[in-house]
Structure 1
Amino acid sequence: MDAHAWDERYAASELVWSRGPNRFVAEELAELEPGIAVDLGGGEGRNAIWLAERGWSATTVDFSQVALDKGRRLAGDLALDWVCADATTWRPDRPVDLVVVAYLQLAAAQRRLAIRSAVQMLRPGGTLLLVAHDTTNLTEGTGGPQDPAVLMSAEDVLDDLEGIEVEVVRAGRVAREVTAASGHHEHAGDAARTAWDCLVRVVRR
C-alpha cells in the first residue's frame, strides 16, 4: 500500500490501531531510562504517545499525513514531533536512544532498508525494538496482512542487520491473543484467538 492508500485507511475509522501502546512495546521498554526515541512507521503514534507520557522525547515518522494529524489530536498537550516521511529514507539530525518499529508492512527489500536505517540512527548502546506480523501468522494465526510479502520472521530481521554490530537481546516468535472486542475487526466473535508476531530487540554496539 502507498501513502494515499494508508491515508484512506486512516480516514475511514476513528482509530486503525488501539489507543494504548502495543503490549510488547510496553513490556519490553517499560524499564528503559527515558531519552530520545523514534517511532518509525508509527501511524497514529500510539507507541510514541506512551513513550512521551513516560518522559521520552519522542518523534513519530509515517508517510500518512492523515495518521499523523490524528495522532497529534490524540496526544493533546504532550510534546511530540510528527514527521511525514518515508520510513526507509528518513534520518534524524542526531543519534537517538531508541527506535521502535511496530507492524511496518514492507516487502523484503524495503524492509531491509528501513531496519538497517533504524539501527544506524542509534547511538552506541541504543535499542531497536521491532514487532511485526510473523510469517507463520498466515497459516497458524489470525488476522493481520494476508500478503506473505510483508510478513517476516525474526531470522529475516537479523539477516537484514548483517554487517552491523549489535547485541541481540531477544529474537523470536511471540503469541498475541486477540478478540473482536480488542479492536481486531477481522476476527468475529468474542473468543480469543492467537496471532503470531515476530519480536526482535537489539542494542547497537
Structure 2
Amino acid sequence: MDARDWDERYAAAELVWSAAPNEFVATHLAELPPGRALDLAAGEGRNAIWLAQRGWDVTAADFSQVALDKGRQVAGDTAVRWVCADATTWAETSAYDLVVLAYLQLPETQRRAAVRAAFAALVPGGTFFLVAHDTTNLTEGTGGPQDPAVLMSAEDVLADLADQAFDVVRAGREPRTVGDGHGEEPVRTAWDCLVRLVRR
C-alpha cells in the first residue's frame, strides 16, 4: 500500500488503531528517562502521544498526511512534532535518544531501509525499539498480515543491522493476547517480533 492507499484507509475510520499506546511500547519503555524520541511510521501517533505525555520531546513521522492530521487532533494540547515522511528514506541522523518502529510491515528490502534509517537516527546510547507481526504469527498466531513477505523475525531485524554496533536488550518473539474472552470473542494469541537494542 502506498501513501494514497493509507490516506484513504485513515480517512474511512474514526481511528484505525486504538488511542492507547502499543502494550509492548508501554511495558518496555516506561522506565526510560525522557529525551528526544522519533516514532517512525507513527500512523495516528498513539505511541508518540504517550511518549510526549511522559515528558519526551517527540517527532511523529508517517507518509500519510491524513494519519498525521488525525494524530494532531487526538493529541490536543500534547506537544508532538508531526512530519510527513517515508520511513524508508528518513535521513535525520544521530539525533534521537529513542526510535520506535511499531508494526511497519514491509517487504525485505524496504524493511531493511526503514530499520537502518531508524537506527541511524539514534545518538550513541540511544534505544532502538521495534515491534512487528512475527513470521510465525501466520501459522501459529492470529490476525495481522497474511502475506509472509511482510512478516519478520528478530533474526531478520538483527541481520538488517549486522554491520552496526549495538547491545541487544531483547530480541525474540512475544505473545500478545487478542480478545478478552467476553461475549463471542475468544481469547487468542498473536505472535509479535520484538527487538530492543542500544546503539554503541
What are the residue-to-residue correspondences of 1:168-179 with 2, within 5 Å? Answer: 168-179=168-179
1:156 aligns with 2:156: yes
Normalising by the residue count of structure 2, what TM-score does the alignment of the two structures yield? 0.96
2:90–2:118 CA contact under 8 A, matched in 1? no
Deviations 1:89-124 (CA, angstroms, capped at 9, x unpaired): 123376110000000011100100110111111000
Distance (whole Å) between structure 1 residues aligned to residue 31 and residue 131 of structure 2? 18
Correspondence for 2:199: 204
Decide which of 180, 186, 191 is 2:186's aligned counterpart: 191
1:179–1:189 CA contact under 8 A, matched in 2? no
Correspondence for 1:123: 123
Residues 1:51 and 1:128: Cα distance change in structure 2 (over 3 Å): same
Deviations 1:55-81 (CA, angstroms, capped at 9, x unpaired): 000011100011000000000011111
Correspondence for 1:4: 4
Distance (whole Å) between structure 2 residues aligned to residue 199 and residue 171 of structure 1? 6
Q: CA RMSD in A?
A: 1.6
Distance (whole Å) between structure 2 residues aligned to residue 51 and residue 43 of structure 1? 14
SS at match of 2:87: coil
- Note the residue ranges of structure 2 that are not aligned, 5 or more in a row: none
SS at match of 2:88: coil
1:180–1:189 CA contact under 8 A, matched in 2? no
- Tell me which amino acid in the other structure corresponds to 1:178: V
SS at match of 1:197: strand
- Note the residue ranges of structure 1 that are not aligned, 5 or more in a row: 183-187
Deviates more, 1:189-198 or 1:88-97: 88-97
Deviation, 1:3, is 0.6
Residues 1:136 and 1:73: Cα distance change in structure 2 (over 3 Å): same
Deviation, 1:189, is 3.3
Residues 1:189 and 1:11: Cα distance change in structure 2 (over 3 Å): farther
Normalising by the residue count of structure 1, what TM-score does the alignment of the two structures yield? 0.94
Would you say how many aligned residue pairs link Structure 1 and Structure 2? 200
Residue identity (%) = 69
2:166–2:197 CA contact under 8 A, matched in 1? yes
Distance (whole Å) between structure 1 residues aligned to residue 149 and residue 49 of structure 2? 29
What are the residue-to-residue correspondences of 1:86-97 with 2, within 5 Å? Answer: 86-92=86-92, 95-97=95-97
Instruction: After the TM superposition, list the runs of 4 or more consecutive aligned residues in structure 1 that deviate by more than 6 angstroms.
Output: none
Correspondence for 2:71: 71
- Tell me which amino acid in the other structure corresponds to 1:193: R
- Tell me which amino acid in the other structure corresponds to 2:53: E
